[in-house]
Amino acid sequence: MNHILQIFTGNFEHPGPRLDDVRDAVKRATELLSTEDVILGWSIDCSVYEEILHILKDLGLRVWLWLPMFSELPDSLKHQLSLTIDGQIQNGVEVIKGEEFQFVCPLNNANIQNPVKIYMEHFSHLPFYGVFLDKIRHNSFCAGLESGLGCYCPSCKKRFESESIDIDAFISNVNQDASILLPSSYDHGRYSFSSLLVDSVYKCKSRMITEAVHSVSSEFRSMGLSVSLDVFAPLLAYFVGQDIYALSEGQSFVKPMMYRITNAPAGIPFELQSMQKAFLARGCDPLPVLRELWGADDLLGEDCTMKQIDSVMRAGCTIYPGFEINNMPGICDNSPAYVWQSRSLYDKLSMTGIVLSWNSLCAPEENIRALF
């Protein structure tokens, strides 16, 4: 099994780890594990990458540059922030210091081009094998119900209108009964909804993300780079505009974030609790609906996790599930037992690779050793 290391080198505005720390983490993991790929990003301090790239290439490893697309951007690259239906800037969510999860509009061309712009300005001289695109989504319900409905800036409103979607009717219907936002069925990575209007809105939201990601992916591939993607767990992905089957076409691999113990954005417990809070404020509970659709009493349990991965195994590229290897007290209280359980679960599914997420630098050695 390919144990892919994911290493956070810092964001655009905060200093990352020392070079020695990165070197030591990579050396430790590659000595203990079968590793073919390493994901690094997204600090623009290139001194961190230059020596590490040399070491990893000598080991025959593929190195991916981890880049965010629609969130975690410096202010200078936030060309059009995502807006709620009443024209207000959508809420961000900061659980971990320095990670504010404020989203930008996925239709704005300058926003779409941000990963290419960042790569060309800071990384094009470095010998990366490919690019690993993250934050390829709309805001989630963790920022509130209104922020979880998608972007409604003038460009997005025009896009909805071009697809004959009556947004005023949609909002009116949601205000009368928010439960219409909950799915009636699930198939091949996509939810369907009883309301045809709601179904159309979700389809349009997902096409916005898919078109933007494919546009950028095509540009990177034209430069000789491979492309892989970070996506929500299938349980949650379609709510934020991620049609995993559509996104996967032409990519090298897709990593569903199967974060079952992370209490921060993208973590399944955090997103489910936030979603439940947002919907309960409107008089309905999404969790019984999701439990019934997935045939699972425990949405964080092994059975539901296996069903989620199985549901996307026929996508257009390789699926490598990601799970937490790091420890972050209060945010991700990890243990060797959880690591071993997760590894064993994906062994049962005969996965060819897993992504040790979300930051192998913060992985205690006992967690690494729990993998074998």
Q: What is the pLDDT of residue 25?
A: 85
Q: What is the DSSP letter of 92?
A: P
Residue 40 inside a domain? The answer is yes
The SS3 assignment for 46 reads coil
Distance CA(242)–CA(251), nearest Å, equals 14
Question: Is 350 part of any domain?
Answer: yes
What CATH number has the domain bearing residue 269? Answer: 3.20.20.80
Looking up tokens 């790929």 gives 37
234 within domain boundaries = yes
Pairing verdict, β 190-192 and 185-187: antiparallel
Predicted confidence pLDDT, tens digits, the chain (372 residues): 999 999 999 998 876 788 888 888 888 888 889 999 999 999 998 888 888 898 888 889 999 999 999 999 998 999 999 999 989 999 888 777 777 889 999 999 999 999 999 999 999 999 999 999 999 999 999 989 999 999 999 999 999 999 999 999 999 999 999 999 999 999 989 999 999 999 999 999 999 999 999 999 999 999 999 999 999 999 999 999 999 999 999 999 999 999 999 999 999 999 999 999 999 999 999 999 999 999 999 999 999 999 999 999 999 999 999 999 999 999 999 999 999 999 999 999 999 999 999 999 999 999 999 998
CA–CA separation, 137 and 240 (whole Å): 6
Closest residue by Cα to residue 5 from 48, 32, 37: 37
User: What total number of domains does the chain contain?
Assistant: 1
Residue 34 within a domain: yes
Structure tokens at 330: 């209060």
Domain that holds residue 8: 2-77+94-137+206-369
Using alpha carbons, select from 334, 364, 358 the residue that is nearest to residue 42: 358
Q: Is residue 190 part of a domain?
A: no
Give which of 202, 259, 270 is closest to 234, Cα–Cα. Answer: 259
| Sequence-separated (6 or more) residues with CB below 8 Å from residue 87 | 152
Residue 295 is given by DSSP the state T
Query: What are 308's two structure tokens?
Result: 């989620």
Concatenating the DSSP letter of every residue in 173-230 gives HHHH-GGGGS-SEEETTEEE-SSHHHHHHHHHHHHHHHHHHHHHHHHHHHTT-EEEEE
Tell me how far apart the alpha carbons of residues 41 and 118 are, in angstroms, rounded to a whole number.
Answer: 12
Residues 95 and 265: their CA atoms lie apart, in Å, by: 8
Asked if residue 163 belongs to a domain, the reply is: no
Q: Residue 171 domain-assigned? A: no
Q: Are 321 and 354 in contact (CB under 8 A)?
A: yes
Q: What pLDDT, on a 0 to 100 scale, did the predictor assign at position 358?
A: 94
Q: Which two tokens stand for residue 240?
A: 């934020």
Instruction: Determine the Cα–Cα distance for residues 318 and 335; give it in Å rounded to an integer.
Output: 28
In this structure, how many other beta carbons lie within 10 angstroms of the beta carbon of residue 70?
29
In a domain? residue 84: no
